């Protein structure tokens, strides 16, 4: 007789499902028999990491017979110096994703609530569910932007954690620091608020410094090396929190949760600020160009503050399929209740040219058929 493993698993397993990532390039190549594809599905840095980070990984490769520093002392020191904060306030993880999960798991379990925006990053909902906590998804007032008023009202005595992505993925919206501080002031002081700044580098000039501006005892600001820094494949991210919160989260962490090459790469990448700023500037120029084209083509889904743009069209499913036929991988957003949207990462100029040419083609074909 077959064993019903689901019945044996923790109760929250039945409602859980695996995170659906952007389609990997190799998978599309295999599916379509293509020799070349452009992935615009996961908001990666299309230029690659800093050459200094690549060199650090090369050097680290000869040392991987040793465990990494479990406490990531050198990396934490580098991050602390970068932010001019004490190192005991830094939490590092296998991607900021792990940091987010650790925070939620440390504070929320069965009977507790985790509040987030309905069209916020899906990982908050998944992490809350995995922890056995109850996720509370608050609708956006305008369909895209966090409704901070409603989110504050959703907080009650069961609420342990609130999650906000700023800029938000997938909607690309940005909250200013004044609005965020107003929101924090409405909350009980002991509610943990995760401010997920995965796209911070793309809005640094516009937003200002949340770390030095915002005040709330339970504030945890997370950043990642996966987006602007170009180290998504290394899996490395971090958060800044109250030292007592950071110490608690350490209890839930695996002993060696950040690999040796990842630690080395992140230290080198952080030191090469010039390189990151140049790539961010390239990306912002290209994002403006792509948004202008989407407007011209009348498929504009609204302004994005991240390294991605939003395409909106009733035939988005067909557009996605046609893009994939042409070797371009977009990110459908049906899972966020945004069935008529596609999220398109900003690629290199050549990649974006390919996307734009494909879109002109696809829309012309759709029009001539209708």
Chain positions contacting ligand PLP, by CB under 6 A: 43, 95-97, 121, 165, 169, 196, 198, 224, 226-227, 232, 237
Return the residue nearest ligand PLP (CB atom): 95
Residue placing its CB nearer to ligand PLP in the complex, 192 or 362: 192
Shortest distance in whole angstroms from residue 238 CB to ligand PLP: 9
Q: DSSP assignment, residue 57?
A: H
Q: Which residues are bridge partners to 341 per DSSP? A: 312
Instruction: Kindly provide the residue ranges of all beta strands, DSSP E only, lying in the chain, ordered along the sequence.
Output: 38-39, 90-93, 113-117, 134-138, 159-165, 192-196, 219-224, 237-240, 308-312, 328-329, 331-332, 341-345
Place of tokens 């350490």: 250
Residue placing its CB nearer to ligand PLP in the complex, 79 or 358: 79
Residue placing its CB nearer to ligand PLP in the complex, 202 or 359: 202
Q: How far is CA 209 from CA 80, 184, 203, 336, 342, in A?
A: 15, 16, 10, 29, 30
Give the DSSP H/E element, type plus range, for residue 322.
helix 316-325
- Rounded distance, CA 269 to CA 276, Å? 8
Shortest distance in whole angstroms from residue 203 CB to ligand PLP: 13
Residue placing its CB nearer to ligand PLP in the complex, 183 or 308: 308
Residue placing its CB nearer to ligand PLP in the complex, 113 or 196: 196
Q: Which residues are bridge partners to 159 per DSSP? A: 113
- Rounded distance, CA 93 to CA 71, Å? 10
Shortest distance in whole angstroms from residue 97 CB to ligand PLP: 3
Shortest distance in whole angstroms from residue 236 CB to ligand PLP: 7
Shortest distance in whole angstroms from residue 262 CB to ligand PLP: 11
Shortest distance in whole angstroms from residue 226 CB to ligand PLP: 3
Residue placing its CB nearer to ligand PLP in the complex, 151 or 359: 151
Shortest distance in whole angstroms from residue 345 CB to ligand PLP: 10
Spatial strand order in the sheet of 237-240: 90-93, 237-240, 219-224, 192-196, 159-165, 113-117, 134-138
- Rounded distance, CA 113 to CA 158, Å? 6
Q: Return the closest-CA partner of residue 113 out of 143, 151, 144.
A: 151
Residue placing its CB nearer to ligand PLP in the complex, 41 or 359: 41
């Amino acid at each position: 007789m077959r064993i019903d493993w689901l019945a044996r698993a923790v109760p929250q397993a039945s409602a859980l499902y695996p995170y659906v990532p952007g389609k990997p390039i190799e998978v599309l190549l295999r599916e379509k028999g293509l020799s070349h594809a452009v992935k615009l599905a996961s908001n990666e840095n299309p230029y690659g990491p800093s050459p200094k980070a690549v060199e650090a990984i090369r050097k680290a490769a000869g040392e991987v017979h040793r465990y990494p520093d479990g406490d990531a002392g050198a990396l934490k020191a580098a991050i602390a110096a970068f932010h001019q904060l004490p190192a005991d306030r830094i939490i590092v993880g296998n991607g900021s994703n792990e940091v987010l999960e650790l925070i939620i798991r440390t504070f929320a379990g069965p009977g507790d609530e985790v509040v987030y925006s309905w069209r916020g990053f899906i990982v908050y909902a998944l992490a809350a569910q995995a922890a056995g906590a109850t996720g509370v998804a608050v609708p956006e007032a305008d369909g895209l932007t966090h409704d901070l008023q409603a989110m504050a009202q959703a907080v009650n005595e069961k609420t342990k954690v609130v999650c906000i992505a700023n800029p938000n993925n997938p909607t690309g919206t940005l909250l200013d620091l004044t609005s965020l501080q107003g929101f924090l002031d409405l909350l009980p002081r002991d509610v943990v608020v995760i401010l997920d700044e995965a796209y911070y580098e793309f809005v640094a000039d516009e937003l200002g410094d949340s770390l030095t501006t915002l005040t709330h005892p339970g504030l945890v600001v997370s950043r990642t090396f996966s987006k602007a820094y170009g180290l998504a494949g290394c899996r490395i991210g971090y958060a800044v929190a109250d030292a007592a919160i950071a110490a608690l989260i350490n209890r839930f962490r695996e002993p060696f949760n950040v690999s040796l090459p990842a630690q080395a790469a992140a230290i080198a990448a952080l030191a090469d600020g010039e390189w990151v700023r140049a790539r961010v500037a390239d990306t912002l120029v290209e994002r403006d160009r792509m948004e202008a084209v989407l407007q011209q083509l009348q498929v504009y889904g609204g302004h994005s503050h991240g390294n991605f743009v939003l395409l909106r069209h009733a035939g988005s499913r067909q557009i996605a399929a046609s893009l994939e036929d042409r070797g371009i991988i977009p990110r459908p957003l049906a899972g966020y209740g945004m069935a008529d949207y596609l999220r398109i990462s900003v690629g290199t100029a050549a990649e974006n040219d390919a996307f734009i040419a494909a879109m002109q083609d696809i829309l012309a074909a759709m029009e001539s058929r209708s």
